[in-house]
Amino acid sequence: MAFEKLHLLPSPLRRSLASAALLLSLAGAGTAQSTEPAEFAPDRVIVEFRAGTSELPEFIDLAGAFADEPALRRALSEIGARSMYRVFRSGGVAPRNPTLFKALGMDRQYVVELREGADLASAQRALGSASSVASVRLDGLVRLAEVPNDPLFTSQWDHRNATDADMDTEFAWDISKGSPAVPVAVIDTGCDLVHPETAAAMLPGYNFVANNSNPQDDHGHGTSCAGIVGARSNNGAAVAGVAPNCSIIPIKVLSAGGGGSYANVAAGITFAANSGARVISMSLGGGCCDAAVDAAMVYAAGLDVLTIAASGNNGIQGVIYPASHPSGMAVGASSPCDERKDFGSCDGENWWGSNYGPELDVIAPGVLIPTITLGGGTTTTFNGTSSATPHVAGIAALVRTIDPSLTYSQVRSLIQATAEDQVGPGGEDAPGYDIYFGFGRVNAHRAALAALGAERFCFADGSGTPPPCGNFGGFDRGAANSTGSGALLNAAGSNSLAADDLLINGTGLPANKPTLILMSPAVANGGNGTAFYDGLLCLASGGVGIFRHPPLTSSLGGAVTLGPGIASYSCGHFSGLACFQPGARWNFQCWFRDATGPCSTGANLSNAIGVTFRP
């Protein structure tokens, strides 16, 4: 979908304005913006009443309305007004911050729908002559940030990619898969409410196109975005979302044709914030700017909601709105080769590119993305900054699950700070911030690690539901030995790479037996199995590494300790690998002599644990 060339907010606003300053600038909502969309709805205008006007209902019955204001009643009749309703409809959910809601004038802005063929300029003049009306403006149009596509890939390269152009989502899942207590609002064409991959995640939503409580998707775009955010994982079907345990608030603001108005977008943002969303994902946009959307964005920020939106697909300098709004987060698209998606990127789709500019925050996978489709199906070809945006929304949900105390601006800063810099071509991806990659290509694992805090390792097992990070060791019992139980590994340390004080402790071993601590550089049995299962590093089935450490013998109590100083004798053996670098992950397992062991003649294995070093 092509977008018109856009007017941009001044770049210093992008990262420097706080919500309080924005509130001051928007408190008189209805003030004309310096720029405006290039396209407008042909059949409606937005009326803002003056402060102090008596409170009006959400939906106004024009047959008997404004009896005490003949000029307004006459104007509505002359222009052929068909209906009138508040821009910020509640959807049955009351404002969570009524003071801010009123300070932004959100209770005084109304849509007036006109008869077909009405003259918009005449309607503005007629309604503007009424004494209670502060301003009358047109309602800008907004469209999906999607593009056409062709099938090329059949796997989720966004999560795991041979050239490491992915987000390391698999490792992030060892830390968190999200939580139902962290809802993500998908503001789009609605969602498939019964798709088996997301039905369990759905919370009550709203349809601002039809003004009812049924946000069922009738286009498909919103369903695909919701799948990227939160499709269930480990269920043997379809795909896995970035935050597969999160809940989703489906909000329909776009029609079956993929178009809509800023009035409905503003209503959707406000509904999401009032409904308890912690993150908003909007894969849509248009020309800048709109007073109602500005107010809604500030209102959401005031309720500590992080709003994430698509940068656009023209391949030009010019981030679309509302991604360009200073309180939101603008997301561009990356290719499977870690390029900014452009007309010449490696995916071969030469008909679109990701918009860029000083408003851009980060980029994320956005080409040929596997996800779900309307009617219970799947696709491997979902494209555009539309598909990049829900990736970042999913990461934000993981971060807010790990540390719910982080504010929306702290979450945004964390995702920026943990993005991978200089992964793309040097001509665009310069060191530090640049207008093409923003702060870099997002990395879910690094973001999750940063949310944990600086003083912890993270450990996980292979059950598919890792325990909380910091629950050290003992996640599975290991293969049964001659005593009928399994040896256990634990790990401890301060995460100080300089001190190298990581300790690996084994217990439940047979007494006085030769022992080795085995290690794998973040792979599973040479790539032939699932990480963290009994036999992960089994020598008889293709072991992937042995620590080069001094000979160890279990104590009479069946215990052994390796470290500190592990890095000094392990890095040389694993030459060419990251070793114990920030962000690196290693899997550990204990091998010991036991005549009944199943791994190989006279050998057995403990449980396996993983250790990830914070960046």
How far apart, in Å, are the Cα atoms of 109 and each of 127, 220, 268? 13, 30, 15
Query: Pick from 519, 539, 529, 531: which is nearest to 580 by CA?
Result: 519
Determine the straight-line distance between the first and last CA of the chain, rounded to whole angstroms.
38
**Are 590 and 506 a contacting pair, CB within 8 Å?**
yes
d(Cα 445, Cα 463) in Å, to the nearest integer? 19
In terms of Cβ atoms closer than 10 Å to its own Cβ (0-12, 13-18, 19+), residue 530 is exposed
Would you call the peptide bond into 582 cis, given omega within 30 degrees of 0 as the criterion? Answer: no
| Residue 139 among the catalytic residues | no
Selection from 286, 269, 275, 250 nearest residue 104 by Cα: 269
Residue with tokens 């991604």: 323
Query: How far is the C-alpha of 532 from the C-alpha of 611, rounded, in Å?
Result: 11
Using the Cα atoms of residue 349, residue 351, residue 355 and residue 356 in order, give the sign of their dihedral: positive
Pair of tokens at residue 492: 């401890």
Cα–Cα separations (whole angstroms), residue 179 to 237, 395, 467: 20, 12, 14
Annotated catalytic residue, options 139, 188, 347, 594? 188
Q: Is 188 in the active site?
A: yes
How far apart are the C-alpha atoms of 389 and 384, rounded to whole Å?
A: 9
What does the chain come to in residues? 615
User: For residues 241 and 156, what is the distance between their CA atoms, to the nearest angstrom?
Assistant: 10
221 is catalytic: yes
- Out of 219, 221, 325, 391, the active site residue is 221
> Parallel, antiparallel, or unpaired: how do β-strands 183-188 and 279-282 relate?
parallel
CA gap 166, 157 in Å, rounded: 6
Q: Which of 335, 386, 554, 606 is catalytic?
A: 386
* Sheet (strand 488-492) strand order: 488-492, 503-507, 560-562
Q: Determine the Cα–Cα distance for residues 565 and 401; give it in Å rounded to an integer.
A: 34
β-strands 362-365, 329-334 pairing:
parallel
Q: How many helices (H) and strands (E) does the chain have?
A: 13, 23
Q: How far is CA 113 from CA 70, 108, 216, 327, in A?
A: 19, 16, 24, 30
Angle between helices 408-418 and 444-452 (to 10 degrees): 130
Neighbours of 167 (CB within 10 A): 29
Cα–Cα distance for residue pair 189/599, rounded to 1 Å: 54
The whole-angstrom separation of Cα 389 and Cα 333 is 8
Catalytic residues, by residue number, are 188, 221, 386
